[in-house]
Structure 1
Amino acid sequence: MTERPVLVYDGDCGFCTRSVRLAVRLPVRMRVQPWQEADLAQLGTTEERARHEVLWIDRSGHVSGGAAAVAELLKAARAPWSVLGRIASAPLVRNLADFTYRWVADNRHRLPGTTPACQLPPDQRPRSTG
């Protein structure tokens, strides 16, 4: 359990970092942390999962990943963002959101704001030193 929700992202990825800069502007109280600096075991997740997708850990400790994490983040914010989060969680929209999230994650090295780390295969990206 955490004091407030935690958004965990890839701090070595420029596209991910730029996306998180937009997320912190949302009207929601949360802690934002790159997975490379997070105690993932304490947060109830693994490095493998954090390398694969953005994570949202709610106050109860439930971990959502990928498009579901984005939807949970939006639902935690005030309207109109919370409405978008509920829409993104709806069964038919969720499938489209999952597909879109996976496409973006798999192609982030081609998107604006990337870093050299984004272009490496996941198993070759820099690891946390701490």
Structure 2
Amino acid sequence: MSSAPPIIDESAGGEAGNGLLLFDADCPFCRRSVRWLLARERPDSRLRIAGLEGSVSHRLGEHFGIDFARSDSIWCFADGEPRRNSDAVWRLAARLRGGWQRLEWLRWIPRPLRDGGYRLVGNHRHRLSSLGAARLEDHPRWVNHLSAGLCHRCGLPGELADEP
């Protein structure tokens, strides 16, 4: 099984994405986790990615009143609402193919326990990945700006788009 992420050919009419994941792009563990997720994503799930300290996060942060650059959580946008920590994890699990999708059952664990587990991993994530992981800024799923189409497919207000 190939771990290469699927590539979206937007010039051939493919949609730019139906979800957006913000993550710590400077963290090797986080980069490895995002690569793992993209490699196991269902074909109908076209998640886009951006770093917590980039222009996309800044724009979303202004709208939602969140300083994503100071956040150490992952954030998922798919229905117009920012979801973070374990709420983001189980929503991302629903995008996986095969048996991996069963991880969505995490949503039935009470949030304080889920978030506690998330924090445990998050607090030790730099130690969990002793090897470096390739940067993702040149990945086909990386976004540097919010298009009107991506905003629409993620349920975000159109005025957040960087372009008309």
Q: Structure 1 length as normaliser, TM-score?
A: 0.70
Aligned to 2:154: none
Aligned 8 A contact 2:37 2:96 in 1 = no
Aligned to 1:109: 126
Match of 1:90 among 93, 101, 108: 108
2:27 matched to 1:18? no
Letter matched to residue 108 of structure 2:
A
Determine helix, strand or coil for the equivalent of 1:12: coil
Aligned to 1:80: 99
Is the helix fraction higher in 1 or 2?
1
Letter matched to residue 33 of structure 1:
A
Determine helix, strand or coil for the equivalent of 2:115: helix
How far apart, CA to CA, are the structure 2 residues paired with 1:24 and 1:3?
A: 12
Match of 2:87 among 68, 91, 102: 68
- CA gap of 1:49–1:34, structure 2 versus 1, over 3 A, is closer
- CA gap of 1:49–1:67, structure 2 versus 1, over 3 A, is farther
Aligned 8 A contact 2:74 2:88 in 1 = yes
Aligned 8 A contact 1:66 1:101 in 2 = yes
Letter matched to residue 4 of structure 1:
N
Aligned 8 A contact 2:52 2:68 in 1 = no
Alignment deviations for residues 12-69 of structure 1 (CA, whole Å, 9 cap, x no partner)? 11111111110111212110111222422543542347622001011x3111101110
Larger radius of gyration: 2
Aligned 8 A contact 1:10 1:54 in 2 = yes
How far apart, CA to CA, are the structure 2 residues paired with 1:18 and 1:100?
A: 19
2:73 matched to 1:53? yes
Aligned to 2:8: none
Aligned 8 A contact 1:10 1:50 in 2 = no
CA RMSD of aligned residues (A): 2.5
Q: How many residues align?
A: 111
Aligned residues with identical type, % of pairs: 27
Q: Structure 2 length as normaliser, TM-score?
A: 0.57
